[in-house]
Structure formats: structure tokens, C-alpha cells
Amino acid sequence: LLCGSNVQEITMLFEEFLSSSIFKYFIFPIGSALLGIAIKYVARNDQYAKFKKEDLAVGLELIRTACLMYVVLTTDRAISLLGVNEELAEVLANPNLDATRASLLQAQAQELTSKISSAGWSIALMFLALWAVSTIVRKWGWKSETEMKPIPGIAIPFSLGILSLIVVMLGASK
Amino acid sequence: MKSKLDQLSGLLSIIAIAIAVITFFIDLSDVLRFSPELIGIIFLIAGSFLSGMYSSRIVKRLRKLPHAPRVFLSYRSEDRSIALEIANALRNSGAKVWDAYEQIQPGEEWVAQIDEALADTDTFVAVLSDVPSEWISHELELAKNYSLPIIPVLTRKFILPTDLGKLSYVDLSVDKEDGINRVVEAST
């Protein structure tokens, strides 16, 4: 039976697992890729056909997911920065100034600002990578109308997709 | 002009990927230093590249895993009603049936589709009558090339062509229901 302390313990263990390097840099990207492959296979129109190598071509979807995750993460940070600045303004406006609290909020605001200032370039770079990989797949990735080439069509986008997800997870935990 | 632009976009995309990969790795090594995580990540990236490179081999292995039996149904349009009965019985027993009439839409290129379907087939069922059909013969040839088990199903009594003469067949003219059950048993 689950009592209150047990639930709290399980929640803590789960949170610890979700913030661990193993989850962020290995389980999350591999899981996303496997889920993408499974969805592609299950949702395929031609259910008669067996598993095809083209089902493994989920690299572009992974890069796209990473790009959007980074945009959401940056927006989230911008909202946090607004909140911190508002709080700092309130503290500074108070006649009985709490210097410790003010310096803490200022440090937080500085940290968030530095993260947001580099986010623009990171987002631009990620979308550039998405365009570049799409171009490579379109130009050199197809053997025939339905069949893909293993290296430019599957391997390059797949490995870059995994790399982009890792970079986003790294950016989120920085 | 358009082809030059296309070439340029290809070149630019390679440069962009190189820049992105270098920046990503600088970013990673800057934060993780030379920790076990970074080495693990490098192995993971290399592994994902290799899995894409050897995707054909991986897929071949995956195809050997248990799956619903796939049956290719070959018949003349005149025998469609009996072919449909066989297809329904097969589907009810959990098999996936490929029927050219259902799969190929008017105006679609069919040779490649038939070849692709046969490559994924486990059993080839040929519904035959005393009227020879060029297309059934063509599909039979392809099925032999893929070394598929072939089940000849006769809609009426006649002598099988010599190339199928050695195969045990199902005669629907004797007992249709029993014959269809035998086809289902042999295919699933």
C-alpha cells in the first residue's frame, strides 16, 4: 500500500531520474527516436508492407522537435526574466530595502539574460541545420521515388537529430 | 541558372551542417568537459550514424520477428467473387492480404507495386481456372523468383500447367468451404 511518505519518496526518485544525465542525454533522445520510428511504422498507409528501412528515417522530425523545444524553452526563460524583474522592481521600490533579496534577484536576472542573449543564435543555428539536412535529403537522399539511400537519406539526419535533442537538453539544464 | 542555385544550396547546406556540428560539439565539450557523459554522447551519435548506415541489415533482422502472415492473392477479374471469399477468410484468421484490385488505383504504376508486394509476401495464392491468364503467369514467375510457397487454388477441374504440376492444389469445385479452410490453414 502506498502511504504519503512512500509517494513522496517515489516522486523524489522519479524527479532524480528525470534530471539525471542518463535520462537527459541517453534515454530521452533514444526514446524519442524509437517512438518516432514506431509511430511512422504504425501510421503507414500501406499496412501490408513489412518494416522498411525508410521507417528509420526520423532524423528530420527529431531536429524539428529539438528546434521547437528550444523556442519554447527560450520563451519560458523570457517569461521567468519578466517575473524576476518585476519582483526586483518591487523590492527596490520598498522604503525598507532588503539588499540580500535584491542582489539575489539581480543575479537571477543576469543569469537569465545571459542565457536568452545566446538563445537567438542557437535557434538560428538549429533552424539552419534543419534546412541544411532537408536540402541534403532532397538532393542526395533518394535512390528511387520510394527508396532512400542509407547514408545521406537516413544516417546523417538521424545522427544530427539525436545530437540536436542532446544539445537542447543540455541548454535546458545549463 | 536554376541548377546553379540548386548546386549552391547543396554546397551551403554541407557548410551549414559542418558549422552546426562543430558548434554543437564545442557547446557540449564546454559544459561537459571530457566527462564520461561526453564520451557516451559521442558513442551514441556514432551509433545512430551506424544504425542509419546499416538500416537495410537492421530491417532484414526485424522482418524475421513474428508478424501476421502476408498473403498475395493472384486471380483473374472473372474469379473476383471467389477470390474475395478467400481474402475474407484469410483476413478473419489474422492474415494480411494483398489484392491488386484493392491496392492499385486506376492510373497508378502497378509493376513496381506488385514487385514490392511480392517482396513482402509469405505465401502466394493463385486462383486458377481453365482459362490461362498472362498476368497470373507473370506473378507466378515473380513468386518463384522470390522462392515463395505457392498454393494453387482451382475454381473448376482442369489439368494444372506443367510448371505447377508438382504442387499440391486445392480444388474448390469439390467442396468450396473445405477448400477455403485448407487455403487458410496452409497460409497462416
Nearest to B52 among A133, A155, A164 (CB): A155
B186 grid coordinates: 496452409
Assess B52–A contact: CB distance below 8 Å, yes or no: yes
Nearest to B55 among A46, A53, A133 (CB): A53
Interchain proximity A53–B56, CB inside 8 Å: yes
Q: Which residues of A touch B20 (CB under 8 A)?
A: 125-126, 128-129, 132, 160
Identify the residue among B11, B43, B49 best suited for mutation to test binding to A, counting A beta carbons within 10 A and taking the highest: B49
CA separation (Å) from B12 to A128, B5, B21, B146, B160? 10, 10, 14, 44, 63
* Spatial separation of the C-alpha atoms in residues B9 and B24, rounded to whole Å: 22
Cα torsion B25, A40, A34, A48: sign: negative
Assess B98–A contact: CB distance below 8 Å, yes or no: yes
Interchain proximity B48–A136, CB inside 8 Å: no
Q: What is the pTM of this model?
A: 0.77
Which chain B residues in 8-37 lie under 8 Å from chain A, judged by CB atoms? 9-10, 12-14, 16-17, 19-21, 23-24, 27-28, 31-32, 37
Chain center to CA of B183:
21
Please report where in the chains the cell 539511400 appears, as a residue: A149
Q: Which residues of B touch A139 (CB under 8 A)?
A: 6, 9-10, 13
Question: Under DSSP, is residue B167 helix (H, G, I), strand (E, B) or coil?
Answer: coil
* Interacting residues of A94 by C-beta distance below 8 A, sequence separation 6+: none
Assess A53–B contact: CB distance below 8 Å, yes or no: yes
Assess A163–B contact: CB distance below 8 Å, yes or no: yes
Q: Note whether A171 and A122 are within 8 A (CB).
A: yes
Query: Which chain B residue shows the shortest CA-CA distance from A164?
Result: B24
Using one digit for the tens of pLDDT, what is the confidence trace for A80-135? 999 999 999 999 998 888 889 999 999 999 988 988 888 888 888 889 999 999 99
The secondary structure of chain A, three-state, reads CCCHHHHHHHHHHHHHHHCCHHHHHHHHHHHHHHHHHHHHHHCCCCCCCCCCHHHHCCHHHHHHHHHHHHHHHHHHHHHHHHHHHHHHHHHHHCCCCCHHHHHHHHHHHHHHHHHHHHHHHHHHHHHHHHHHHHHHHHHHCECCCCCECHHHHHHHHHHHHHHHHHHHHHHHHC
Burial of A64 (0-12, 13-18, 19+ CB in 10 A): middle
Query: Which chain B residue shows the shortest CA-CA distance from A54?
Result: B55
Identify the residue among A125, A163, A174 best suited for mutation to test binding to B, counting B beta carbons within 10 A and taking the highest: A163
pLDDT at position A31: 94
Confidence of residue A8 (pLDDT cuts 50, 70, 90): confident
Tens-binned pLDDT, residue by residue, of chain B (188 aa): 667 877 888 888 888 888 888 888 887 777 777 788 888 888 999 999 999 999 989 988 888 788 889 999 999 989 999 999 999 999 999 999 999 888 888 887 788 888 888 888 999 999 998 888 888 888 999 999 999 999 999 988 887 777 777 888 898 888 889 999 999 999 88
Confidence of residue A1 (pLDDT cuts 50, 70, 90): low
Query: How much is the ipTM here?
Result: 0.81
Interchain proximity B16–A129, CB inside 8 Å: yes
pLDDT at position A15: 87
Mean of pLDDT over chain A: 89
Q: Note whether B150 and B164 are within 8 A (CB).
A: yes
Q: Name the strand (E) or helix (H) holding B78.
A: none
pLDDT at position A2: 62
